[in-house]
Amino acid sequence: MAECGVCFRHCRIEEGRLGFCGARTAKDGRVIAYNYGRVTSLALDPIEKKPLARFHPGARILSVGSFGCNLRCPFCQNHDISWDARAAAFARTAETVTPEELVQLAEAARVRGNIGIAFTYNEPLIGYEFVRDTARLAREKGLKNVLVTNGTAELAVLQELQPYVDAMNIDLKGFTDRYYGEVLGGNRQQVLAFIEEAVKNCHVELTTLIVPGENDSEEEMRALSSWVSRLKNPDGTGVPLHVSRFFPRFHMQDRSATPVDTVYRLAEVARESLEYVYTGNC
């Protein structure tokens, strides 16, 4: 067996088998990215869709995704490439793109307002080697690199990527260990440590999806935003927080969409501590 070092799970993977995320495998006694360069999604998106509100507003960015995820959010809107049965099918059929080819696509899209590459849709950190190799080439061509991530990774992974990443949107899905562990299958402490390190080297914005009955109390938002208020981006400005509305999806269809008033109310609570607060999906 080989031990994966990407996230808190430290999966021990048998030769030729996959880890929990469905994207890393063991070959010749070491763990490699099974999803390296295997693309399931590609689109030229507005930068605000990532969401990034204070990083090159008005620009577009070439967004690319693969398959697999190391969380199990029951409301995942990209579950077909992240962790349901169809994700396994994508693992067999996804088209392989080299870092050089992806950078060429990004360069060709400059005429349409493209500023770089966003690694998104599924969890990019579980295939960080492809992100690293592509981002290095993109940086050489003057392109920007963006990560849209759940932040569930060891700091050693972040350190591999930091020299090449210009901006991140990181999910801070809630502010209790119970929610992260029991509902999402994650580790809040690892995410907090990842965020604290990420802000030292690139522009960071955070997103919190408000799920009714789970993380929608004023007390939790007050604690979350107070913690975020201690962070500063490299330019000295505060870290923006996107407060987003939940819609019933995938395995979580037992409740209604978050009331719009709740999203606005929690955004106002966040503004007690934060200068930059945005609402989404409203």
CA angle 21, 37, 84 (to 5 degrees): 35
DSSP H helices in the chain: 79-82, 85-93, 99-108, 128-140, 155-161, 177-178, 188-198, 218-228, 260-270
Residue 65 three-state SS? strand
94: which 2 tokens? 């996804």
pLDDT value at residue 95: 87
CA angle 158, 159, 162 (to 5 degrees): 80
Cβ distance 220 to 255 under 8 Å? no
Q: What is the DSSP letter of 257?
A: P
> Which residue bears the tokens 């994966």?
4
Alpha carbon distances (Å) from 271 to 14, 233, 239: 48, 17, 12
Nearest to 166 by CA among 268, 264, 248, 235: 235
pLDDT value at residue 86: 76
User: How far is the C-alpha of 279 from the C-alpha of 260, rounded, in Å?
Assistant: 10
pLDDT value at residue 94: 84
Nearest to 230 by CA among 273, 187, 167: 273
Amino acid in position 29: G
60: which 2 tokens? 């577009």
User: How far is the C-alpha of 41 from the C-alpha of 67, rounded, in Å?
Assistant: 9
pLDDT along the chain (282 residues), means of 10: 97 96 96 96 97 98 97 94 78 88 98 98 98 98 98 98 98 98 98 98 98 98 98 98 97 96 98 98 94
Domain 2-280 CATH class label = alpha beta
**Residue 182 CB burial class (10 angstroms; 0-12, 13-18, ≥19):** exposed
Nearest to 210 by CA among 272, 263, 269, 275: 263
User: How far is the C-alpha of 68 from the C-alpha of 65, rounded, in Å?
Assistant: 10
pLDDT value at residue 163: 97
